[in-house]
Amino acid sequence: MALALSDPVKLPCGLELPNRFVKAAMAEMMADPKDGLPNEDFIEAYGKWAEGSWGAILTGNVQVDLEYVGSTKDPSTGPYMKKNIEIWRLFADTCQKKGTPAIVQICHPGRQSVRGAGRRGLFTQTMAPSAVPMNMGNGLLAKFVRWLVFGAPREMTVEDIKRVIDLFVDTARLMADSGFAGVQLHGAHGYLLTQFLTSKTNFRTDEYGGTPEKRAKIVVEIIKAIRSVVPATFCIGIKLNSADHNSGDFDATVRQIELLIKAGIDFLEVSGGSAEDPKMMGRDHLPKKVEAKKSERTLAREAFFIDFATQIRKHFPDLVLMVTGGIRSRRGAEAVVHSKAGDLVGIGRPAVINPKFPQLLLDKSVPDEEAQLVLAKVPLPGWIKFLDLKALGAGVETGFYVTQIQRLAKGLATFGP
């Protein structure tokens, strides 16, 4: 089997990634809550990844609305402000100092904006396509947690929607002017664009809801508007949640992806889960040591969302697909590429523990049995198991790796659970 992971990948916009490994987006929680700008900690951490021989580096999500952010320490932008370009340019230069393209993940949390995050008041409602509250569970405790952390959203007006579109475009233009290679729209994990795309949270009957096409309208308008203000070689990707391809949801998702391709996306990353049901954290998936006798199909299942990606490939053979989640070994990554489920392999948690993980996997002198990084689940305190709230378990998992990123930023050794 040829080492396909070392092959370059050229995106439709013309941007060429030197290999197939992408450092996936992960929450850093290091920005100053006062201005949301990247600081020295970001420079130090991403400087380590810049040395890692990645095909591309995806930043953690950058919130486009200073009023509504996902957590208190998320980086954020707001309306286009030329005075901030130098700060973002330093960030871009650091990520790309060895020639690796850096892509900024941009996001609006919608109803998943926690109380106290952003510049909105503590009791100012979040906003969403429809006034559908978070579902943290049916018990009284779950309902109290939902009220305490998120409150209840209000339905967005058309004016709200137009403002959010402008904020996504402003952020993309700022990143292009700062020297980044592209942006990725965060349309997964229960954030605002996901809330529009799915009928589970979008009950609108106007131009932004009611059919798969109308639910995708906000995303299509964002992509087209970004394309009109950035260079032709600037990359625009999107991260989407997987869907059950045995249900009607899959047909709707296929139709929406078709519209996104026509609007001008360069790649699609397959993910899944939300704050309500955090599949992306893989709490039910514990990687085992990869054995040489395992089949390619079994190896590919290191990836959490491989089945969905495989089905999408059948509909869109030329779409550049990125599969992220659970990939821990050279054999697993190779299997994803050779099965044609993914063109790009997203690596998250192993990238934190070993910022130079691609160098290990691409080194032909390292045996397959050693070209891997197996990570256990983060142990959960007993009280969390007793409460039986999925979001709390995911929060512990996220918190552990956030701490490791912060250690990376301080020049300290990182370690797995």
Give per-residue pLDDT as tens, 58-69.
999 999 999 999
CA 23 to chain centre: 11
> Do the beta carbons of residue 213 and residue 255 sit within 8 Å?
yes
> Do the beta carbons of residue 70 and residue 107 sit within 8 Å?
yes
Encoded tokens for 384: 């969390």
Task: Find the CATH number of the domain harbouring 204.
Answer: 3.20.20.70
For residue 389, pLDDT beyond 70: no
pLDDT score at 385: 55
* Residue 291 covered by a domain: yes
Count of beta carbons in the 10 Å neighbourhood of residue 415 = 10
pLDDT score at 142: 73
The band of 416, judged by pLDDT with boundaries at 50, 70 and 90, is very high
The band of 214, judged by pLDDT with boundaries at 50, 70 and 90, is very high
The band of 170, judged by pLDDT with boundaries at 50, 70 and 90, is very high
The dihedral formed by the CA atoms of 176, 179, 184 and 186, expressed in degrees to the nearest 10: -80
Question: Which tops the pLDDT comparison, 234 or 275?
Answer: 234
For residue 348, pLDDT beyond 90: yes
Give the residue carrying structure tokens 């995708």.
Answer: 216
* Residue 4 covered by a domain: no
For residue 383, pLDDT beyond 60: no
> Do the beta carbons of residue 111 and residue 202 sit within 8 Å?
no
The band of 140, judged by pLDDT with boundaries at 50, 70 and 90, is confident
pLDDT score at 263: 98
**Pairwise CA distance, residues 208 & 196, whole Å:** 8
* Residue 300 covered by a domain: yes
Which structural domain, as residue segments, surrounds residue 312? Answer: 22-409
**Pairwise CA distance, residues 366 & 348, whole Å:** 21
Q: How many domains are there within the chain?
A: 1
For residue 262, pLDDT beyond 90: yes
Mean pLDDT is lowest, of 137-141, 301-305, 409-413, for 301-305
pLDDT in tens, 122-137: 889 999 999 999 887 7
Measured CA to CA in angstroms, residue 355 lies from 173, 313, 365 at distances of 29, 30, 19
* Residue 10 covered by a domain: no
**Pairwise CA distance, residues 256 & 319, whole Å:** 14
pLDDT score at 393: 53
pLDDT score at 37: 95
Encoded tokens for 31: 């920005």
Give the residue carrying structure tokens 């995106």.
Answer: 11
Q: What is the mean pLDDT of residues 361-368?
A: 96
Mean pLDDT is lowest, of 8-17, 145-154, 385-394, 399-408, for 385-394
CA 223 to chain centre: 17
The band of 284, judged by pLDDT with boundaries at 50, 70 and 90, is very low
**Pairwise CA distance, residues 201 & 128, whole Å:** 8
pLDDT in tens, 288-331: 333 344 445 445 446 678 889 999 999 999 999 999 988 999 99
Rg (CA), the chain: 20
Encoded tokens for 406: 């912060």
Count of beta carbons in the 10 Å neighbourhood of residue 402 = 20
pLDDT score at 39: 95
Three-state SS for 221-271 is HHHHHHHCCCCCCCEEEEEEECCCCCCHHHHHHHHHHHHHHHHCCCEEEEE
**Pairwise CA distance, residues 72 & 118, whole Å:** 6
The band of 44, judged by pLDDT with boundaries at 50, 70 and 90, is very high
**Helix, strand, coil abundance in the chain, percent, nearest 5:** 40, 15, 50
- Predicted TM-score (pTM) above 0.95: no
Measured CA to CA in angstroms, residue 16 lies from 8, 11, 99, 328 at distances of 7, 6, 11, 24
For residue 80, pLDDT beyond 80: yes
Task: Indicate the helix (H) or strand (E) that contains 165.
Answer: helix 158-178
pLDDT score at 147: 77
* Residue 278 covered by a domain: yes
Give the residue carrying structure tokens 């609108």.
Answer: 204
pLDDT score at 354: 98
**Pairwise CA distance, residues 133 & 151, whole Å:** 8
The band of 384, judged by pLDDT with boundaries at 50, 70 and 90, is low
Mean pLDDT is lowest, of 116-125, 302-311, 332-341, for 302-311
DSSP state of 67: S
Mean pLDDT is lowest, of 96-105, 180-189, 247-256, 339-348, for 247-256
Give the residue carrying structure tokens 């330093």.
Answer: 90
Phi, psi angle pair for 386, to nearest 5°:
-65, -40
* Residue 416 covered by a domain: no
DSSP state of 33: T
Encoded tokens for 390: 């999925």
For residue 285, pLDDT beyond 60: no
3-state class (DSSP) for residue 47: helix
For residue 244, pLDDT beyond 60: no
Q: How much is the mean pLDDT over the chain?
A: 88
Phi, psi angle pair for 81, to nearest 5°:
-130, 110
CA-nearest of 302, 281, 304 to 290 is 302
